[in-house]
Amino acid sequence: SLTQGRHSRHLGACAAALARFGHRGDSGDTSGDNTGDIGDLAVAAEQLRVARRELGRITGQVGAEEVLDIIFRDFCVGK
């Protein structure tokens, strides 16, 4: 059904984001160079945010960010 297909797509997107989160440290770099830590942390946080958003689309939990995205996308004058 449509609902099951939608749920499947969102679960797949959630799983993909979690997989990207899980593989972020697989580069094998042990040089001790920590210059990328802040960027790596930002990327990891984004993947977790994406996973949470996809689950929220199934459960009906919508965050403020999504509401603002919809408002600016659909209701802003001058687009």
Work out the burial of residue 36: count CB atoms within 10 Å of its CB; fewer than 13 is exposed, 13-18 middle, 19 or more buried.
exposed
Phi/psi zone of residue 60: left (φ > 0), alpha (ψ -120 to 50 degrees), beta? left
pTM value > 0.75: no
Confidence of residue 9 (pLDDT cuts 50, 70, 90): very high
Q: What is the pLDDT of residues 49-79, one digit of tens each?
A: 999 999 998 998 877 777 777 777 888 766 5
Tokens coding 16: 């993909």
What pLDDT score was predicted for residue 67? Answer: 77
Q: What is the pLDDT of residues 11-45, one digit of tens each?
A: 999 999 999 998 876 654 545 555 556 678 888 99
What ranges do the domains of the chain cover?
2-74
